Amino acid sequence: MGTTQLDTVPEPKYWHLKTVLSDALDSEFAVGEILPNERELAARFGVARATLRQALEQLELEGRLQRRRGVGTTVAPPRVGVAVDPARRTWPGGPADDWQPDDADESDTVPAPVGRLLETAPGERMHIVRRSRVTHGQPVAAELLYVPAAVVPRCAAAAPLGAAGRARAVLSALQELPLDGQDHTVELGSARAQDAKQLDRLPGAPVLVVTTRYLSGGRPAAVAVSTYRADTCRLTFGEGEAVSVAAG
C-alpha cells in the first residue's frame, strides 16, 4: 500500500482514504487476508486513527471488509449473487425454491403496509411463515411470508403439527392455487433486531428489503418481505444479464 496526499482533496479525508484502501484491497490483498493494525495504517497514510476508523467502517458497510473478533479486520469475499425473480414464476416453497421454512404462527395483527398490499380488513386472520436463506454456509436473507387464512382455509387444521409443520402446510397449500402473477419492490433499509440476529448482523446494519406480492384469482393472495444482507449480497433479476442492487 502506497501513501497519498490527502490534504488538498476537497472531499472528506475518510472518504478519499476509503477509495485508496479499496484500490489496495483489489491489488495487494487476497480474500481472507488480515489487514495491518490501525496504528500502522494510520501512520502509513498520515491520518488520525479516527479518520482511519471511519474509512474502515464504510468499507465494512459496503462488504469489502469483515471484522472478526479475535482475528482482526480481513478482506471479505465477493458478494454472493442472489436470484430474486427467476423467469419461471412460482409460489414460495416450490421445487426450485432454496429457502428453508423455519416456523409459522397465526395472528390477526400485521404491519399496515402488508395489510394494504393484501387488501385485508383489520383483524383478519393471517398465517405468518418465517423462512431463511443460506448460501455457501452463510446466512444471507430472512423472510416473513404473510398469507390470509381465508386464502388457504384447510391450513386451519394444521395447528397440531407444530410451528415447522404449519409452515410446510401453508407453503404446500399455496402450490395448489393458480398463480396469476407477482410484483416486486426493492429498497434499502436497516436490520430489525430479529432479522439482525438471524442474519448474524448488528441491529441497524444496512439491508436490502425485497417485498413480493403474489396474485391469485384476481386478488392479492400472499406477501413476502425478504430481508437480504446488503454487505454480502447482490440481487439479480431474471435469467438474462444480471442487474445488481447493492448498498454503498
Query: How confident is the prediction along the chain (248 residues), in pLDDT tens digits per residue?
Result: 555 555 555 678 888 898 888 888 888 888 888 999 889 998 888 889 999 999 898 888 777 887 777 778 888 777 666 666 555 578 999 887 889 999 999 898 899 999 999 999 888 999 999 999 887 677 889 999 999 999 998 887 666 677 888 899 999 999 999 999 988 888 888 888 888 888 887 788 788 898 999 999 999 999 999 998 887 777 776 654 433 343 33
Q: Would residue 1 count as lying in a domain?
A: no
Residue 26 dihedral angles phi and psi, to the nearest 5°: -70, -35
SS3 232: coil
CA angle 240, 133, 68 (to 5 degrees): 110
Q: Decide: residue 246, CB within 10 A, 0-12 exposed, 13-18 middle, 19+ buried.
A: middle
| Number of structural domains in the chain | 2
Tell me the residue range of the domain where 124 lies: 80-237
Indicate whether 105 and 47 sit together in one domain: no
SS3 116: helix
**pLDDT for the residue numbered 216:** 95
Domain containing 178 — which CATH number?
3.40.1410.10
Indicate whether 85 and 195 sit together in one domain: yes
Among candidate residues 198, 207, 244, the one with its CA nearest the CA of residue 61:
207
**pLDDT for the residue numbered 198:** 86
pTM: 0.69
The whole-angstrom separation of Cα 218 and Cα 66 is 46
